[in-house]
Structures are given as C-alpha cells and as structure tokens.
Amino acid sequence: MVDRVGPQLFSIPAHRAFGDALAAGLIRRFGRDKLALARGIVLLPNNRAKRTITDAFVRASGGGLLLPRLVAIGDADGSEAADVAIDPADDADPVPPAIAPLARRMILARLVSEERARAGAPIDAAEAVRLAGELARTLDQLLVEEVPPARLRSLDLTQELSDHWQRALAMFGVVLDRWPQELAGLGRIDLAERRARLLQRLGARWANAPPPGFVCAAGITTAAPAIARLLRVISDLPQGLVVFPGLATEMDEAEWQALGPHAPDPVTGVRRRSIETHPQFQLKLLLERMGVNRSEVVTWRDGGGHDSTAVRGRAIANALAPAEFTGKWTMLPAEERRLSDVRAALVNTPAEEAEAIALALREALETPGKTAALVTPDRALARRVAAHCARWGVAIDDSAGRSLAILPPGTLLTVLAEAAAQQFAPLALLALLKHPLARAGEQRLAWLEGVRQLDLALRGPRPAAGLDGIAAYLGEGDRREQIIRRPAATWWPTAQAVLEPIETLFATGPQPLGQFIAGLRETAQALCGDSLWSGVAGRAAAKLLADIEAEAAAGPALIEPHSLAPLLRTLMEDVAVRPPQGGHPRLAIYGLIEARLQTADLMILGGLNEGVWPGQPAPDPWLAPRIRIELGLPALDRRVGLAAHDLASALGAPEVLLTRARRDARSPAIASRFWLRLEAMSGGLTRATPLENWARAIDTPDRHEPADRPAPIVPAALRPKRISVTEVDRLKADPFAFYARRVLGLGPLDPVDADPSAAWRGTAVHAILEAWAKQDGCAPDKLRDRAHAMLNDARTHPMMRALWQPRLIEAIDWIAAKMDEQIDQGRQVLDAERTGEIVIAGVTLRGTADRLDRSASGGLAIVDYKTGKPPSAAAVRAGFSLQLGLLGLIAERGGFGDIAGNADGFEYWSLAKYGDGFGKVSSPVDPDGKRDLIPTADFTRLAAHNFIAAAENWLTGDAPFTAKLAPDYAPYADYDQLMRRDEWYGRDQR
C-alpha cells in the first residue's frame, strides 16, 4: 500500500448500480489475494443491504469467492439492531444490554397513562400504547442526535407555544425524568444509546489498533453523530475507505451551500432554515459531522451491470435542484435535461396503474436474462401488482413485507377481541366465525354450513346482547321465522361452547393485559387449532402474543375490554411479515428502504402522487416544530429528502418507468412534486402510451351488448295459483319481480344487524295493535304500556328507542283516543289480524286485515294501519293500491269465516306526521264519489274486476312476466339487478 494523504472517500454516482459497482471495485482492489478479500470488513446500513451486496459479489465473482465480512451497523431509528460483529462477547467492560422494544413501549405507555390521569385527562390503554410509540420515536431522535434531555429545561418558548403544546411539553419532560429511573431499575439502556456506545468503542478500538484487513463503510447515509465519527475513523485507517451512494460531487457550490445547515446570522442571531427536503442534505450533514469537505470525495472508478449514462445522472441532479435554483432549467442545454429511456405512464385509477405495472413486469420476462423491479411506498399498490402477476402464474416477492395487522392470523385475533368487546354483536360475530382460519381443515365445510345458517337467521335488527341472547333469539319467533332459525339453533351450541370462556373474561370488566392476552390466545387456539400459528405470519403472531404477555405487567395496570382490539392492531402494524424467498428470480417488489442499493434493468417507480411518494410527514404529538428546531432535531419533512434520494437512486437504472394514477380510491390525486419537477425540467416526460392503452384494454370487452328487457314466459302449470292481496300490485306493475319472488323463490335478505327499517317498524306497530285488540279489548289506557314494553325490550335497537319513541308514543296516543271516540259512536272491533281467502278466477286470493270492525250502520269496516303515508287517490284510480277493496271482497264472499257482511267502510289509519300532530284517518272511497274518489259501493266490484284481469293475464293465462311494466307503481328495487335494469331501462324497445 502507498502512503495515504487524507481520508479515503468515494462516491458511486446515482446512474450506476451501487451494489455491483462496489463489489467490482473491492474485488479489483483486494481480490488478487483471495484471503485478503476474506479478511476485509464491509459496514452496511442494515441487514437488507447485506443481502444486496452478497448478491452483487456473487454476480461479480463469476465463480467461487470468499466474501468479506458484511456487518450491519443498524438503523438509526432503532428499528433494527446492530450486528453482533461490533459487540464482542469478550469485552472486558461490556455495554449494558438494551431494553427490549416492546418492554420499553409498555413502560412508556404506563408512564403516559399515569401522567395523563394525574393531569385530569385520562386515556385508555390503546391510546397510551399509540402515544408511547410516538414518544419512543422522539426519544430515539434525541438519543441519536445526542441531545441531552436537560436542554428541554433551558428552552424558554412558553410565550410562543399554545396551551396544547405547553401541556405536551410538560408531560414529555415528566416522562423523560421518570424514564431513566425505570431503566436503572432494570439495569438496561436504550437501544439507540447502546448502538452509539458500541460504535464509539469500535471507532476507538480501530483507531488504536487497525484491523489486519481492509474496512469499507458503504451505502451509509445516516448523519447520526456516532456514525459520522465512526466513518471518519474508517476513512483514516490505512486500509479504510468510505463509499457514499449518489453524493453530488458535481453539484454547483452555491447550490451545495444553500442546503445548510447554516450558522446563525452574526447580527440578528437568526438561523436560516436548512433545505432538509433535498436529497443531498443528509449526505452534506454527514460530511460536515465527519469534518471532511466534498472536494475530498472521489468518484468510484468501477461500474456495475445495470448502469445508465452520466447524462441521465446530470439530468436527475438538475431536476432535484433546490427551489431557488430551478430558474436555470430554461438555460440548460438539451443534453443536460434529457431523460432518455425514462417513460411515464399516467392512468386514471389505482387499478389501472397496477395493471400497467404488471404488464410492464410481464413484458420484461420476454427478454432472456432481463430483470425488473417495482419500487413503491404504496403497499396496497404492491399487493395489487402481485395479484395481477399471479394471473400469469408469475409469483413475485414483496421484500417490504406486509403488516401483521392485515394478515389472517392478525385479523383473526383482532376480530375475536372486537367480537368479545361488542358482546358478540352479529356483524362482529359473523366476521369471526367466517374467518378463513376458523376451523381450518377437515371440519371447515361443516363449520361454514352452520355459519351460513346463522347468517340467515341473524338477518334484520340485532338480537339481545351476548351468546345467550343469540341462543334465545334463535329459539323464538313465529312459524316462518322458526323455519329459518331452527338449523342455526341446532348448530349454535357448537360455536357457543368455544366462545363462552372469552365472553366470561370480557364480562368481568377491566383486567390486566396479560389475562386478556392469555384468554384471547386460548380461545383462538380452540377456534382455529394449530393452523393459526403456522406459516411465517402465524409464527409472527405467536411471538407477538408471547412478548406482550411477558411484558404486560410493565404496562398500564388495567385495560378496558374495548381497548384490547385497537391495542393489538397498533402493535401489529409495527410487525412486518416478509415472505420466504421463492418468487420469480428476475422480478421483485421493494419498499423504499428495501430498494436502497438495489437496481435492475427496468426499475418501475410506482405511486408517484403527493402523499404517497413522498409520504405525508407524520406529526410529532410531543414536540412542537419550533421546539424540534431549537433542539436541533431533524425536521418532520426530512423524510421527504430521504424519499427524494431514493427516487434519484432508482432513476439511475438503464430503463425507468414512472407511474401514477389521476385519482386515488377516494378523490382526485395530486402528482408528486418529484413527478412535476421531472416533467418541468425535461419539457415533458415521454409517455408510455401503448402501456397505458393496454392497461385500459386488458379487462375491457371488445363490444358491449346490453340486455333486452326480460319477459320470461312460464308454463301454466308452474304459474302460482295462490296470491295475497299485497302481491297484486307487484304482479301488475312489475310482473318480473313477481316472477322472481313467487316462481323462482328468490326473496331479498335483510342486512345483518340492520337498522330498523320502515317495514320492521310497521311489523312492530302491527304486533302492538294486534295484542292490544285481542288481549286488552282496545282499552285506551293499555296501549301505551304495550308500546313501552316493546321499546324497552333488549332486542329493540337503541337508535330506534332514542329517535322513534317520541313519535311512536304520540301516534299511539292518537290511536287510543280515536278508537275510544269511534267506540262511543257505535263502532265495534270484531277482530285484528284476521286472515281469510276466497277462490276467484281460478286463483286463491288471501289476505290479512289489520282490523275488522262492525260499523254503526251494521256493515263491515276494513282498517289498514300505516306507519307512513297512505296510497294516493291517483294510484287507486289507476287500478293500483286496491288492497282494502280486495279485503272487502274477501269479507263479502265469506272468506273471513264468521265475520261477513257488506263492506261499507275502508280506512287507512296513518301514524305519520300531519301538521302539528301525528295520526290521520283517510279513505280511498267516498259514498258519493266526491273529490274524484271512487264511490264506496263500487270499490269491491272495481277491485274484483282489476284482480280478475291480472289473474287471467299472468296466473291462468300465458302473458309474459315483463319487467317494470308500470314503473311509476313499481318503486321497489329488490330485483333490479337480476333484471339488469340499468342496461335496458330508457332505451327504445324493438
């Protein structure tokens, strides 16, 4: 080795493949002696970078090779521990062990919870755990930046901070005071502090006794002081070198100095803000903390196998220039702005974007040996792309992994906790029982059959709370309801036995977290068996539960049952589950962290919308932005600069495809600032028009053939010969709907845990009035008691109880008063809810009268209760809404048995609001036909005529069941999708 002058600093430009260039250069420098290469040490930022560099050495070697020792220094944010190589086991004065991340979070959650309670603003355990995670990140930043917590005491910003931030700062200070005591009691230190100490010792050891082989620090961009000191030591070692990724050695000096950090103004003392969103800021800060100048950094000689041109590199640097220097774009020569081999796909929706990316990945496979990778921070987009690739049988790994919270074991545990906290409300219960892990294996089909029966039985308003409430609900109901509920009632004890232990646990109220976790684990095991804990995700879930149970005692003393599910979800969101390797060897999906130092022949940068790439900086709930500036902590938007650096590195691939969608799942999307810069600097990105067209066309049919209006013709033998009076309007106005219901036997299902609908409210009112008439003899003072009994029933929806009760009671009182008035005038109630039937035109017509009265004149009065408005006179004149007339026809022909006679009264008793009150009696007829109403004497005859015509057409005749024959009188949409209404409605029929 020749004598060295100054530190050995290098940079691999962004347009070169970092890993391949590094491996080629190290082999050229040290590879002549195979053992010399093996004695070397390469420091890398994290364990993912170790895999990247390993692969690069394999590619560069062309055969067998003894690799240097690859050592990860660990992430500065504390999410990844340092390699054991920098923590020797035989150290005479070992650094105290670090506290486990989950233990720290639980302790901090307890401290936060106690301080909030002491301040008179208590929070639940789930929120305490969330705030503890944010507190841990802020504490790590203080430790990484080596900011002593005592500096908080010296800040005097109370006049500039709102009350909210003053309270947050005070609580932060109290927690920081208590936290060292907690650590001292455990004999532990923070992970970030331990890493800093280890790196400090390593630097001191190497400075005094350099390793026998070379030491190379590569790809490290973190500007933490401890890391900066270590890199400076390495750069000064006899065989040491530091290799930066994409340092802008050719950047104009004025632009470089504008990045900051800046010294305070000598006159005003004001410090100019740094441009922390620039991709080079982090590297500039690192150089300054190392005490070296950019001019000392030399460009790495060697290149990799996936390099683009230097022209591209200069264009990227120009595009990402600080805002105050972007005016130079108009004066740049064309070659300084050219983004050759960079295409852009602008599509309409995220679905189209995923299609376009999948097509580009699939196209890359057509070229032998070509590699392609998608880089995106949008994990939903990554999952969509992987699903599209699976259509062609191409498996593709997402190295960023997926959150445990959205994987089956995680969702099973959270939905189990939610169901127990909600006392097994129908929606949460069915979500649990239908989960793909529930009774997985040979028992699955039988289990699902029982769950389907339970699903049918639970349609409609919610039953009483708890497992016993569901059991009681399944055992009650009228004959028709029992037919539906009986299969579920037979199966239900099987599920109830599994869930009873956790119901008992949650019913006892607040409990220690450990007890909840143990009960949750045991019930989940009983429900799913060992399949819950199998696979990568299952093992991650098992480890998380074990860790929580082990550390639960350090957290909040008691938690409420409803806090368990959000607490688990918060912790699971921080657990990334990465799939085992096994995807296509030439394709990959990376997150931004995983993509660092990676490259491919085609790099696809997806999700280039503002808020995605770059992401929206998460607010710090503990320290106000002004306090962070005063303490010297990184600004919240420094991650934007890191995202920009990742983008610049990925843009160095031989081929690049940029993609974005014009809208996201909810609203129009704004193009990323990076996209806009590239577009403005280059004068317009080259569009990948064929790819955009393919993405739209791949799932678009070549022609559209809308359906004609359906009009099925049914053989006479299959046409119904029984019909109720309430179905006649459907038969005449929408024969197809009648056909679907009565011939095909298709009935609409109520939603599970439905809000009480108008039909349900009508049924409830009819039940009250029936019991009042049959059991209380229409005594006025009894009706309100029955209404209150219904409202206070545990099965009555609480929203209906709160909102409907005042209206119902007022309407009920009106009915009682009106009934009392009519009885005084000679009206006699004969029966309520009486069902009768007659045969007419070869068809059995049946109907149920809400009330049958004997009028003072001796005739029959047919009463129909309505919770809403009664039918209009126009509908009656058009031959619809003749239900009262048909009931009168049944009565006149003896269909109600012992209740017979001439029907001379037809009344709607409406409970709707009229003027200042509720309730009104109206009639579709008039004795003399006044007000354009039908004469009373003609009403049953008119109803019979209309019914006979309809029966002869569709029930005993051969008329087709045409859809929406009279749409004005066919308001219900139950069968609109079945008849494909939107395809033909409004078009001219041939």
Q: Is the model more confident about 841 or about 3?
A: 841
Query: In 3-state terms, what secondary structure has residue 29?
Result: helix
Report the candidate in 310, 400, 868, 344 with the shortest Cα–Cα distance to residue 594.
400
**HEC assignment per residue over 510-556:** CECHHHHHHHHHHHHHHHHHHHHHCHHHHHHHHHHHHHHHHHHHHCC
The DSSP H or E segment spanning 297 is strand 297-299
171-227 pLDDT per residue, tens: 887 888 889 999 999 999 999 999 999 999 999 999 999 999 999 999 999 999 999
Report the candidate in 90, 89, 86, 34 with the shortest Cα–Cα distance to residue 233.
86
For residue 938, pLDDT over 60 is answered with: yes
For residue 791, the model assigns a pLDDT of 77
For residue 1, the model assigns a pLDDT of 42
Provide mean pLDDT across the span 679-696: 93
For the chain, counts of helices (H) and of strands (E)? 36, 22
For residue 816, the model assigns a pLDDT of 86
For residue 767, the model assigns a pLDDT of 84
Residues 6 or more apart whose Cβ sits within 8 Å of residue 484: 456, 457
DSSP string, 416-429: HHHHHHTTS-HHHH
For residue 170, the model assigns a pLDDT of 77
For residue 990, the model assigns a pLDDT of 44
Provide mean pLDDT across the span 699-709: 86
Predicted structure pTM score: 0.87
Can you tell me the distance from the alpha carbon of 448 to that of 460, in angstroms, rounded to the nearest whole number? 20
For residue 596, pLDDT over 90 is answered with: no
Cα atoms in the Cβ-side hemisphere of radius 13 Å centred on 916: 0
Provide mean pLDDT across the span 383-408: 92
For residue 169, pLDDT over 80 is answered with: no
For residue 795, the model assigns a pLDDT of 63
Reported confidence tier of residue 425, pLDDT bands at 50, 70, 90: very high
Choice among 34-38, 164-168, 333-337 with the minimum mean pLDDT: 164-168
For residue 341, the model assigns a pLDDT of 92
Residue length of the chain: 990
For residue 479, the model assigns a pLDDT of 79
CB contact burial 17-27 (16+ within 10 A = b; e otherwise): bbbbbbbbbbb
Mean pLDDT, the chain, as a whole number? 89
Provide mean pLDDT across the span 732-754: 92
Structure tokens at 544: 């998380």
Cis amide bond preceding 261, omega within 30: yes
Can you tell me the distance from the alpha carbon of 619 to that of 168, in angstroms, rounded to the nearest whole number? 13
Provide mean pLDDT across the span 42-65: 86
For residue 769, the model assigns a pLDDT of 86
Q: Is the model more confident about 189 or about 917?
A: 189
Query: In 3-state terms, what secondary structure has residue 900?
Result: coil
For residue 646, pLDDT over 70 is answered with: yes
Q: Is the model more confident about 764 or about 57?
A: 57
Provide mean pLDDT across the span 459-482: 87
For residue 647, the model assigns a pLDDT of 94
Provide mean pLDDT across the span 66-83: 72
Contact 297, 247 (CB under 8 A): yes
Can you tell me the distance from the alpha carbon of 953 to that of 957, in angstroms, rounded to the nearest whole number? 5
Reported confidence tier of residue 90, pLDDT bands at 50, 70, 90: low
Helix, strand, coil % in the chain, rounded to nearest 5: 50, 15, 35
Structure tokens at 158: 């109370």
Residues 6 or more apart whose Cβ sits within 8 Å of residue 566: 126
**HEC assignment per residue over 96-121:** CCECCHHHHHHHHHHHHHHHHHHCCC
Reported confidence tier of residue 75, pLDDT bands at 50, 70, 90: low
Provide mean pLDDT across the span 60-65: 78
Residues 6 or more apart whose Cβ sits within 8 Å of residue 642: 221, 279, 282, 592
For residue 214, the model assigns a pLDDT of 94
Cis amide bond preceding 463, omega within 30: no
Tokens 């090779």 map to which residue? 65
Q: Is the model more confident about 645 or about 868?
A: 645
Report the candidate in 610, 599, 646, 592 with the shortest Cα–Cα distance to residue 398.
592
Contact 918, 814 (CB under 8 A): yes
Contact 109, 125 (CB under 8 A): yes
Structure tokens at 90: 């035989």
- Which range of 143-152, 277-286, 806-815 scores highest in mean pLDDT? It is 277-286
106-162 pLDDT per residue, tens: 999 999 999 888 888 899 999 999 999 999 998 999 999 998 877 877 776 666 666
For residue 92, pLDDT over 70 is answered with: no
Cα atoms in the Cβ-side hemisphere of radius 13 Å centred on 359: 20
Query: In 3-state terms, what secondary structure has residue 391?
Result: coil
Report the candidate in 767, 757, 706, 763 with the shortest Cα–Cα distance to residue 972.
757
For residue 583, the model assigns a pLDDT of 84
- Which range of 456-465, 665-674, 817-826 scores highest in mean pLDDT? It is 665-674
For residue 878, pLDDT over 90 is answered with: no
766-807 pLDDT per residue, tens: 888 888 888 888 888 888 888 888 777 766 667 667 777 788
554-581 pLDDT per residue, tens: 999 999 999 999 999 999 999 999 887 7
Reported confidence tier of residue 701, pLDDT bands at 50, 70, 90: confident
Contact 655, 370 (CB under 8 A): no
Can you tell me the distance from the alpha carbon of 267 to that of 238, in angstroms, rounded to the nearest whole number? 44
Single-letter residue type at 716: A
Tokens 């809000």 map to which residue? 755
For residue 660, pLDDT over 70 is answered with: yes
In angstroms, how far apart are the furthest CA atoms of the chain? 126
Reported confidence tier of residue 2, pLDDT bands at 50, 70, 90: very low
- What count of other Cβ atoms lies within 10 Å of the Cβ of residue 330? 8
Give percent above pLDDT 70 in the chain.
96
Give percent above pLDDT 90 in the chain.
59
